Structure formats: structure tokens, C-alpha cells
Amino acid sequence: MLVLSSPSGAGKTTLSRRLLESDDEISMSVSVTTRKPRPGEVDGRDYIFLSTEKFGLMRNRQELLENAKVFDNWYGTPKSPVEQALSEGRDVLFDIDWQGTQQLEENAAEDLIKVFILPPSSYELERRLTKRAQDPPEIVAGRMAKASDEISHYAEYDYILVNVDVDESLAELQSILRAERLKRSRQTGLIDFVKQLREGL
């Protein structure tokens, strides 16, 4: 379970997409949300868009691994696709904020790798946040405050990427994933392999 968090505008969505394209062993956890789709967003790929009623129902039935309200909209991670992927030995990528990460850690702690993505500068972040032309200024201002709040939680993460160049950051993310898979504790079958090795000597 690989968590990616970052302030909006730090390039997390692009990075996630690139990582998924490059790595067959990891699949995305698609969040459910009550917010309206933005232009270009596809239901089931970017989010699963739900009514507030349906979202509430999922939450009450404890079908969500984590959920949080951001700017009057609810977001959550459906439990069953995650459990399905993990049971098949696949890794799962989560694009969630610090609140979701804390809940995920409480509800499904076992094997969580937490990566935080920082923008190269506040100037660059501001530039990216104001580029989404469809949003009115007060929304942008709110998003800036939310970005600052999100950044304040960076110290709860294992790895920090400063996203100066997306190709470089992708390579860094791939290294993290590759290294974590090489950890002794994650390699199944090692005990038998070593036993066999020693018997052969």
C-alpha cells in the first residue's frame, strides 16, 4: 500500500498516472466523492462520483477505509477493491490527503509506505493553482490555505519528494517502490530459498 499525498498543484496526479503506466504490479485505488466532476474527469477512472446519500450509505455500512470532508465535499476509499488487489498480491496506490492517510493507518495499517510530494517553490505552486481558469478567486484562495495546511503534515510521511522535474520524480518514486519490494520482510519464499541453498552446499 503506497500512499501519495501532496498539496493540490504539486503534480501528484500526473506522477500517479505515470507510475501506474510504468508498473504492472500496482493498481490505483479510485476514491468515491460527492463533488461534481470537473471538465475532463471520467467517472470510475478519476473518481467514482456519488450522491451524498449513496456516500453516506457506504460510510454507514463501513465500506470505506477512510473518508473526509474537504470544502463541503466528501471523499472516501472503498474497501473491497483494495482488499481484492492485495489478496491477489498486487500493490495499491492511494492518492489521498493527510486526513485519509491517518485513517488508513488506523484501519489498515499493516504495510503502508507514505510518500509526500512537495512543490519546488511557493511561487510555482501558486502558479499551478491559479492556472485552473474555471475556478473563481475565492476558491483559489481556499485552495491555497488548504495547500499550506496539507504541507504542514509532511513530517508524518516516510519519504519526501520535491517535484522539480516530473521525470526525475517518477524515477525517484519507482526507486522507492523497487527498494521497498526488496525489503526482507516483504519477500515471500525467502526462508525456503535459503534452506535449499544451504542444503545444496
- The footprint of its own copies (CB under 8 A) covers 116, 118-119, 121-123, 125-126, 144-145, 147-148, 151-152, 154-155, 157-162, 172, 174-176, 178-180, 182-184, 187, 190, 193-194, 196-201
Considering the complex, state which of residue 52 and residue 148 has its C-beta at the smaller distance from its own copies.
148
**Residues near 153 by Cβ (< 8 Å), separated by ≥ 6?**
5, 98, 116
Distance of CA 13 to the CA centre of its chain: 9
**Chain-centre distance for alpha carbon 161:** 14
- End-to-end Cα separation, the chain, in angstroms: 37
Using alpha carbons only, what angle is made at residue 184 by residues 179 and 189, rounded to the nearest 5 degrees? 115
Cβ nearer to its own copies, comparing 59 with 153: 153
Smallest gap from residue 63 Cβ to its own copies (A): 32
**Rounded Cα distance, 126 and 48, in Å:** 28
Cell numbers for 98, please give them.
493527510
* Minimum gap (Å) between residue 178 Cβ and its own copies: 4
- Strand, coil or helix: 154: helix
Nearest alpha-carbon partner for 158 in 185, 171, 177, 145? 177
CB of 175 to its own copies, least distance (A): 4
